């Protein structure tokens, strides 16, 4: 049976897990496409963080430390199962780390609160892109189902999504949800 | 980094929105599911400039952020956190025994298997009396008391594993509807997570090779099934959308467990074997073993139930020689208790597992 101190430490760590779960999931999804691999890496990242908690510098934010662990696990995973990954190398991971840190520092109690700008940008998309994004992402339909529902080709759906993502990127940068463009 | 510019990536300026779409979309067939709209990194690795790499990273980030808005994200988040905390609790109980990183990275399922005994042991600390045994010296009496204790409303979470694991495509004993699914969309039982309340409410999460979830369940009034890209199927007929195992197995540990245990008493010889010590040296678990009296009786060849000697908590059920549809070889199925944490009140309603405006089809 675990001692009370361990139980208390677990309870506190669970708060950290819950507070950082969405951020970490977003980070992993930015570089890994296979859902099973994302779940595995999520669990492993938190496990490693738990085991290395004594090494954690409490004067520094927890999120970047967690992403640092995740980045090492992702790179290790890429050596075994590269096909699980999207475009990913150390510089991409560092770049994404900075983007997520920027989002983390936005106002809002929850990760969802910090994504308000993204919701606003979706609402501002042209109708066809907005409809496609809603079906694909908010409703979690696969592209072929979206194509069928909207009666357009898969290629058209793919291009709409690509254009929508590009437009959303510009929009959320305009709202300072992500760092602005360099001069 | 291989002689490349080590300058940290920066957002690219001056590019019109959508510029990224044309050159890359002409590449060869992507390895990702087509709905991603992403193209293979292999094709653009190497000569890819920093600006292209940055743009790809931006697009992948937008993709990830959009996925966070998915209406089903809440359920996935809960599942992800619960599994993680379970592994952490095991890890902290298992001091001195390090999970090999290589295996852990390979698969969380491998980790869970390696930790199964430890999970069971650690849960004992959190569990207060489940099944009360009034006659510890009698296997039959022990089973009878288990049967009488079945109205416990406490929520339970189990993990299902199969040995040998086999193909995830072949370990499901499901309906004709499932067999019509393409292979990459067929869910497997190995690694499935089962949530149970009382004797007739359940939710079963199974994953497909393509990484999607097929969820079926019952709130005791309606049986239902949630599949990717399909309307939610709901039926008041308790024969529909049941746990996809042979009847003799499905009813054994979960649904109508009372009848199943009664059948055990009727069709099986029950004995109590010597207590077994788990890997972490904690209290030995009592072990009831039921062996089928003859082959005319449907069901697994033997059923083992392990429970704590004083708390009387069932920690594991093992079913030997289970025949699953699509797999000629009998398998060993183990159902391990992961948690008795209370689940949300509406967890067993289908509405908790799909967007509120999903299409519903009644059967």
In chain A, how long is the greatest CA-to-CA distance?
60
For residue B314, the cross-strand partners are: B307
Query: CA B49, CA B31: separation in Å to the nearest integer?
Result: 21
Q: Are the CB atoms for B319 and B249 separated by under 8 Å? A: yes
Q: Which two tokens stand for residue A90?
A: 């150390």
- Which residue in the set B35, B42, B81 is minimally distant from A136, CB to CB? B35
Q: State whether B104 and A181 contact (CB < 8 Å).
A: no
Which residue of chain A has the CA closest to B356? A139
pLDDT value for A96: 94
Chains A, B: CB pairs < 8 Å? 243
pTM of the model: 0.51
Q: B88 and A46 in contact by Cβ < 8 A? A: yes
Tokens describing residue B64:
């990830």
Strand pairing report for B302-307 and B314-322 = antiparallel
| pLDDT computed for residue A21 by the predictor | 94
> How does pLDDT run across A98-130, given as a tens digit for each residue?
999 999 988 888 888 899 999 999 999 999 999
Assign residue B281 a region: left if phi > 0, alpha if psi is -120 to 50, beta otherwise?
left
CB atoms within 10 A of CB B206: 26
Shortest distance between the Cα of A155 and any Cα of chain B, in A, equals 9
Domain boundaries, chain A: 1-108, 115-183
CB B297 within 8 A of CB B290: no
DSSP B122-182: HHHTT----S--S-TT-HHHHHHHHHHTTT----EEEEEEEES---TTTS----HHHHTS-
B61·A26 Cβ contact <8 A = yes
The 10s digit of each residue's pLDDT in A55-104 is 888 788 899 999 999 999 999 988 878 878 888 888 899 999 999 999 99
Does residue B275 belong to the interface with chain A, where contact is any CB pair within 8 Å?
no
Token pair in block for residue B317: 């059920």
Whether B91 shows a pLDDT value over 60: the answer reads yes
- DSSP, collapsed to helix, strand or coil, labels residue B240 as coil
The answer to whether residue B70 scores a pLDDT higher than 80 is yes
Residue of B17, B32, B80 lying closest to A21 (CB–CB) = B80
B337 pLDDT band, cuts 50/70/90, is confident
Q: Alpha-carbon dihedral of residues A177, A67, B193, B118, nearest 10 degrees?
A: -150
B95 and chain A: CB distance < 8 Å anywhere?
A: no
B108 versus B324: the higher-pLDDT residue is: B324
Interchain contact, A31 vs B124, CB within 8 Å: no
- Distance, CA of B6 to CA of B8 (rounded, Å): 6
CATH architecture of A115-183: Orthogonal Bundle (1.10)
**Residue B329 backbone dihedrals phi, psi, to 5 degrees:** -85, 135
In this prediction, residue B298 has a pLDDT band, given cuts at 50, 70 and 90, of confident
Candidate ranges A16-30, B24-38, B188-202, B323-337; pick with highest mean pLDDT: A16-30
Residue B44 in contact with partner chain A when CB distance is under 8 A: yes
ipTM over 0.90: yes
B/e letters for A79-99, b = 16+ CB within 10 Å, e = fewer, are eeeeebbbbbbebbbebbbbb
CB-based contact A43 B106, cutoff 8 Å: no
Write down the CATH number for the domain with range B116-362.
Answer: 2.50.20.10
Query: CA of B31: which chain A residue's CA is closest?
Result: A83
Measured distance CA(A145)–CA(B267) in Å, rounded: 49
Pairing of strands B213-218, B156-163: unpaired
What average pLDDT does the segment B226-242 reach?
A: 80
Cα of B98 vs its chain's centroid, Å:
24
Contacts of B122 (CB under 8 A, 6+ apart): A2, B89, B90, B93
CA distance A175 to A118: 9
The segment with the largest mean pLDDT, out of A85-89, A131-135, B76-80, B308-312, is A131-135
Q: Check whether B73 has a pLDDT greater than 70.
A: yes
The answer to whether B128 faces chain A, any CB pair under 8 Å, is: no
> What's the average model confidence in pLDDT over B25-37?
40
Neighbours of B8 (CB within 10 A): 11
Cβ-defined contact of B35 to A142 (cutoff 8 Å): yes
Domain boundaries defined on chain B: 34-68, 116-362
8 A C-beta contact, residue B103 and residue B110: yes
What Rg, from alpha-carbon coordinates, does chain A have? 19
B3-27: pLDDT as tens digits? 333 344 443 333 322 222 222 332 2
| pLDDT for the residue numbered A69 | 95
Identify the pLDDT of residue B148: 56
- Please judge whether A43 and B41 are an interchain contact, meaning their C-beta atoms are less than 8 angstroms apart: no
Is A36 in contact with B9 (Cβ distance < 8 A)?
Answer: no
- Give the residue from chain B lying closest to A37, CA to CA: B107
CATH number 3.30.1490.20 given to A1-108: no
Interface contact B20, partner A, CB < 8 A: yes
Q: What is the distance in angstroms between the Cα of A59 and the nearest Cα belonging to chain B?
A: 24
Say yes or no for a CB contact (<8 Å) between B85 and A173.
no
B268 close to B303: Cβ distance less than 8 angstroms:
yes
When the pLDDT of each residue in chain B is averaged and rounded to a whole number, the result is 65
Around Cβ B257, how many Cβ atoms within 10 Å? Answer: 19
Contact A154 B9 (CB under 8 A): no
* Span B29-33, average pLDDT: 41
Given a cut of 60, is residue B309 above it in pLDDT? yes
The residue assigned the tokens 């000569």 is B47
């Amino acid at each position: 049976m675990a001692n009370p101190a361990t139980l208390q430490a677990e309870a506190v760590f669970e708060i950290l897990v819950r507070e950082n779960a969405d951020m970490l999931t977003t980070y992993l999804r930015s570089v890994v496409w296979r859902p099973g691999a994302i779940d595995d890496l999520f669990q492993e990242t938190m496990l490693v963080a738990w085991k290395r908690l004594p090494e954690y510098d409490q004067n520094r934010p927890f999120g970047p430390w967690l992403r640092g662990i995740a980045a090492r696990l992702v790179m290790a995973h890429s050596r075994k199962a590269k096909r699980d990954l999207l475009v990913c190398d150390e510089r991409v991971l560092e770049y994404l780390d900075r983007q997520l840190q920027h989002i983390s520092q936005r106002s809002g109690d929850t990760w969802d609160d910090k994504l308000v700008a993204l919701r606003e940008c979706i609402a501002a998309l042209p109708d066809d892109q907005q409809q496609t994004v809603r079906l694909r992402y908010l409703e979690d339909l696969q592209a072929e189902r979206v194509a069928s529902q909207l009666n357009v080709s898969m290629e058209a759906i793919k291009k709409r999504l690509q254009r929508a993502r590009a437009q959303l990127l510009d929009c959320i940068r305009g709202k300072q949800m992500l760092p602005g463009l360099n001069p | 980094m291989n002689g490349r510019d080590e300058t940290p990536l920066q957002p690219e300026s001056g590019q019109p929105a959508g510029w990224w779409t044309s050159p890359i979309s002409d590449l060869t067939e992507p390895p990702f599911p087509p709905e991603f709209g992403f193209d293979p990194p292999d094709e653009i690795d190497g000569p890819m400039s920093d600006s292209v790499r940055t743009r790809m990273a931006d697009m992948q980030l937008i993709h990830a952020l959009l996925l966070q808005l998915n209406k089903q994200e809440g359920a996935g988040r809960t599942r992800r956190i619960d599994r993680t905390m379970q592994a952490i609790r095991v890890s902290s109980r298992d001091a001195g025994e390090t999970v090999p990183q290589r295996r852990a990275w390979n698969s969380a399922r491998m980790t869970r298997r390696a930790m199964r005994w430890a999970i069971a042991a650690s849960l004992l600390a959190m569990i207060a009396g489940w099944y009360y045994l009034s006659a510890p010296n009698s296997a039959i009496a022990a089973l009878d008391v288990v049967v009488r204790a079945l109205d416990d409303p406490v929520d339970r979470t189990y993990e299902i594993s199969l040995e040998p694991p086999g193909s995830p495509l072949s370990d499901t004993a499901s309906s004709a509807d499932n067999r019509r699914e393409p292979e990459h969309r067929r869910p497997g039982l190995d690694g499935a997570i089962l949530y149970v309340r009382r004797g007739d409410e359940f939710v079963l999460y199974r994953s497909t090779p393509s990484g999607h979830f097929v969820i079926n369940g019952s709130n005791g009034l309606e049986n239902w099934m949630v599949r990717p890209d399909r309307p939610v199927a709901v039926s008041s007929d308790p024969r529909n959308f049941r746990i996809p195992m042979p009847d003799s197995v499905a009813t054994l540990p979960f649904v109508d467990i009372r009848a199943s245990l009664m059948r055990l008493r009727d069709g099986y010889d029950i004995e109590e074997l010597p207590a077994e010590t788990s890997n972490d040296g904690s209290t030995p678990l009592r072990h009831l073993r039921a062996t089928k009296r003859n082959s005319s009786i449907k069901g697994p060849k033997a059923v083992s139930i392990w429970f704590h000697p004083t708390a009387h908590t069932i920690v594991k059920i093992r079913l030997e020689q289970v025949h699953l549809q699509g797999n000629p070889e009998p398998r060993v199925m183990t159902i391990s208790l992961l948690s008795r944490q209370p689940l949300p009140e509406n967890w067993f309603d289908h509405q908790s597992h799909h967007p509120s405006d999903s299409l519903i089809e009644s059967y």
